[in-house]
Amino acid sequence: MNTIAYPQTKKEPVTDTYFGTAVSDPYRWLEDDRSAETKAWVQAENKVTQHYLEAIPYRQDIKKRLETLWNYEKYSAPFKESKYTYFYKNDGLQNQAVLYRQVDDGEPEVFLDPNTFSADGTTSLAGISFTKDGSLAAYQLSEGGSDWRKVIVIKTGDKAIVGDTLIDVKFSDIAWHGNDGFYYSSYDKPKEGSQLSGMTQHHKLYYHKLGTSQREDKLVFGGETTPRRYIGAWLTEDQRFLAITAANSTSGNELYIRDLSKPGSPIVPVITGFDTNNELVDNQGSTLYIYTNLNAPNYRLVTVDAANPGQQNWKDLIPQTRQVLTISTGGGKLFTHYLKDAISQVKQYDMNGKLEHEIQLPGVGTASGFHAKKHEKNLYFTFTSYIYPATIFKYDIATGRSVLYKKSGVKFNPGLYESKQVFYTSKDGTRIPMIITHKKGIPLNGKNPTLLYGYGGFNVSLTPAFSVSTIILLEQGGVYAVPNLRGGGEYGEEWHIAGTKLHKQNVFDDFIAAAEYLISNHYTSSAYLAISGGSNGGLLVGAAMTQRPELFRVALPAVGVLDMLRYHQFTAGAGWAYDYGTAEDSKEMFDYLYRYSPYHALKNGVSYPATLVTTADHDDRVVPAHSFKFAARLQEYQHGTAPVLIRIETKAGHGAGKSTAQIIDEQTDKWAFMLHNMGLDFKQQD
C-alpha cells in the first residue's frame, strides 16, 4: 500500500491542567464546527478518504451487492389508531420509510411520505403521536440527522395542518391531552457559540395548547425551580394521569404524577432521587403500575394507590427474578419480557399478576413489540436473530397463539448459516456471553475475515438482530461476533455498574478477551480481525486499539466518544457522567479517564490498525470534534503504512434518520476498507 499524503493539520499550543497534570490539546481548534478552517479541514480529509476508497477495485461490486440485498419491501409491525391501521413500509431502496394506513382489509393509502420532505432524503420522520380519538396527529421532523426537531400538527382526515409548526424541540415525546393540546420537552437553544455543539443543560416540560403561539406555551416542570437535564412526559391511556420522569444523567430518574381528572391538582412526587430507574407503565382506576429497579437490580413491577404513591406503599405484583425484566401492555394484559443470556422470553399476565400464557417464539433470538390499546383483541410482535430476518407475527391475546403476519423478503437462506452462543472468561474471571455467526462448514484455520462488534455501556442490551449489511461478510466466509460486555443491561443493574466510572476498564478487558477467544479458537487471527462500534461503542474501539494495537488489523470507530476529558462540555454530554465520571470529579477519576481516553492514549511511533473513523457534520449527540481530534492525532502518530482515514458524512447526524443511500454508501466503504486492509478479494455472488 502506498503511503498516504494526509492533509497538514495545524497544531496550536493549548494546555489544560487537571489536579497538577498538564494536558496538551493541540487540535482544540477543530472543536469549532462553525469555523472556515474546520470546514476546509473536513473537505481536505474527505478528499483523501474518497480518493483512497475509490481506488479499492471491488468497492463498486460491494455497493451493487448491497443494493441488490437491500432492494426488498420492508414493513414495520402495524398499530391501530381509531378506525385506521398504520404501518411503515419501504419499497426497497427508498431513502425513508413511508407511513401508510388502511381501514380493515382495505387498500392502503400513503399517510406521510418523508421522501417528499427534502430533495436528498435527509429530512426524516422522527416520531408521530395521535390523539386518543385518532383525529389529530403531531409528527416530528429531523433535518440532516439533528436531534433538534420541528413538530407539525395535522388533522388525520384530510392531513390539513393545524396551528403553527413548533421549532427547537429536543429529546421529546408528544403526550396529547384530549384534543386540546399536548406536552413536550425541550431545552433553550444555546445563545452563544454553535447550535450543534453548545451545551444543553436544563430540559423543560411545556404544554402547547392548539391554536396558540409556541411563545405562549406553559412551563409545566423544570426550569429554575426544578432544574433537570432530561424530562419526559406520558399520559395513561384513560388520560387520567400525567406521568413525569426527571433525570440528570442517562441512568436513574425521579417519577412524578398529576391527576388530570381533578382540575388544579398538584404534581406529586412518587419517588425522588436519582439512584434508581422508575416508570409508570399503566393504571387501573387509581391503582398505578410502576416498573422499577428499586431494591431489585433486575427490575420488578409494583402497584400502589395514587392517593399515597410513596415507595413505602409499593406492593410487588411481578417480583424480581434472575433474568432482567421489561414490561409492556396490550389488550388489558401485562407482557413480561425477560432476557436470559441476551435471549428473549415473553410471558402474558393479567392485571392482577396471574400468569396466562408463555409465548412460543419461533426460535432463539429477540422478540419486540407486544403493545396495543386496552380494547384490542390482537397485537403484533417482531422476531429476529443474526440469521433470522425480522419477521412480524400477529398474536391472539385470548388464546396466546401467534400466526405469521409478514415474512421478510430479503434474499437470504438461513439454512446455510449458523449462529451459536459461547461463553468466555474475561481478564478478571468474569463469564461473558458472545454470539458467533458464520457460514456452515467454514474452516477454523485462523484466516476468516472477522468483525467483532461491541457496545458495553448505558445499560443497553445487545440482543440478536438481523442485519442486511452483515450478509456481505457472511457471504465472503467471514465471521460476525457480538459479545455482551459489562456496562450493558443484559444481566441487570449490577452488570451495568460493573462497566461504569472506575470500572470502565472491565468493558475494554471483556472486548479484548473476546478477540483473544476468537483467535485462540482459530476463527480468525490478528491479520484478519476488525473491531467496530458506534457512539459509546466508538469509545470501546478507540480504547481497545490504543491498548492492544497489535491485536487488530482494522478498527472502525463510528461517531465515537474519544476525548474523555472534555466530552461533558458539549451538547448533552454532561448527562453521560453516570457512566463515565468526569475529569473534574476527583484526581482519581481524572487519572483513570486520562489513562484510557483514546485521544490521549495515542502514542507517537506506534503501529496502530488500519483505521476508518466515521462521523457526521450534524451529529449533535456525540459532536464530530471527538472524531476530528482523534483522527488528526492518529495520522500524526501512526507508524508504518496502515491507513488512518476519517469519513465525514454531510447532512447527517448521530445515525437516526439517515437515508438509505447514505447507509449503503457508508456500509460499502466499511466493508471495502476492511477487506482491502486484510489483503482479501471480494468474491462475486450469484
- Are 367 and 337 in contact by the 8 Å Cβ rule? The answer is yes
Mean pLDDT confidence for 357-364: 96
- Is the pLDDT at 54 greater than 60, yes or no? yes
- Are 194 and 35 in contact by the 8 Å Cβ rule? The answer is no
Lowest average pLDDT, out of 109-123, 237-251, 420-434, 443-457, goes to 109-123
- Is the pLDDT at 196 greater than 70, yes or no? no
Q: Is 404 exposed, middle or buried (0-12, 13-18, 19+ CB in 10 A)?
A: exposed
d(C-alpha 450, C-alpha 63), whole Å? 20
Mean pLDDT confidence for 146-170: 92
Mean pLDDT confidence for 496-501: 98
Exposure string of 243-264, with b = 16+ CB inside 10 Å and e = fewer, is bbbbbbbbbbbbbbbbbbeeee
The catalytic residue positions are 535, 654
User: 3-state secondary structure string, 620-679?
Assistant: CCCCCHHHHHHHHHHHHHCCCCCCEEEEEECCCCCCCCCCHHHHHHHHHHHHHHHHHHCC
How much is the mean pLDDT over the chain?
94
Q: Give the model's pLDDT for residue 618.
A: 66
Exposure string of 418-453, with b = 16+ CB inside 10 Å and e = fewer, is ebeeeebebeeebebbbbbbbbeebeeebbbbbbbb
Mean pLDDT confidence for 203-221: 95
Helix (H, G, I), strand (E, B) or coil at 65: helix
Q: Give the model's pLDDT for residue 656.
A: 64
- Give the residue from 110, 136, 135, 115 showing the smallest Cα distance to 125: 115
- Give the residue from 214, 130, 202 showing the smallest Cα distance to 173: 130
Could you report the per-residue pLDDT of 611-623, keeping only the tens digit for each? 999 998 766 666 8
Could you report the per-residue pLDDT of 539-586, keeping only the tens digit for each? 999 999 999 999 999 999 999 999 999 999 987 788 899 999 999 999
Q: Describe the crossing of helices 36-54 and 660-677 by its angle, rounded to 10 degrees.
A: 60
- Is the pLDDT at 111 greater than 70, yes or no? yes
Q: How confident is the model at residue 1 (pLDDT cuts 50, 70, 90)?
A: very low
- Are 258 and 265 in contact by the 8 Å Cβ rule? The answer is yes
Helix (H, G, I), strand (E, B) or coil at 604: coil
Residue type for 289, please?
Answer: Y
Q: How confident is the model at residue 418 (pLDDT cuts 50, 70, 90)?
A: very high
What are the φ and ψ backbone dihedral angles of 225, each rounded to 5 degrees? -75, -40
- Is the pLDDT at 591 greater than 90, yes or no? yes
List all residues 6 or more positions away from 213 whose beta carbon is below 8 Å from its beta carbon.
Answer: 164
What are the φ and ψ backbone dihedral angles of 315, each rounded to 5 degrees? -125, 135
d(C-alpha 469, C-alpha 65), whole Å? 10
Q: How far is CA 215 from CA 166, 219, 466, in A?
A: 10, 11, 45
List all residues 6 or more positions away from 107 whose beta carbon is below 8 Å from its beta carbon.
Answer: none
Separate counts of helices (H) and strands (E) for the chain = 11, 39
DSSP β-bridge partners for residue 431? 425
Mean pLDDT confidence for 183-206: 73
Within 10 Å of residue 581's Cβ, how many Cβ atoms? Answer: 21
d(C-alpha 510, C-alpha 428), whole Å? 9
Could you report the per-residue pLDDT of 305-331, keeping only the tens digit for each? 999 999 999 999 999 999 999 999 999
Q: Give the model's pLDDT for residue 148.
A: 87
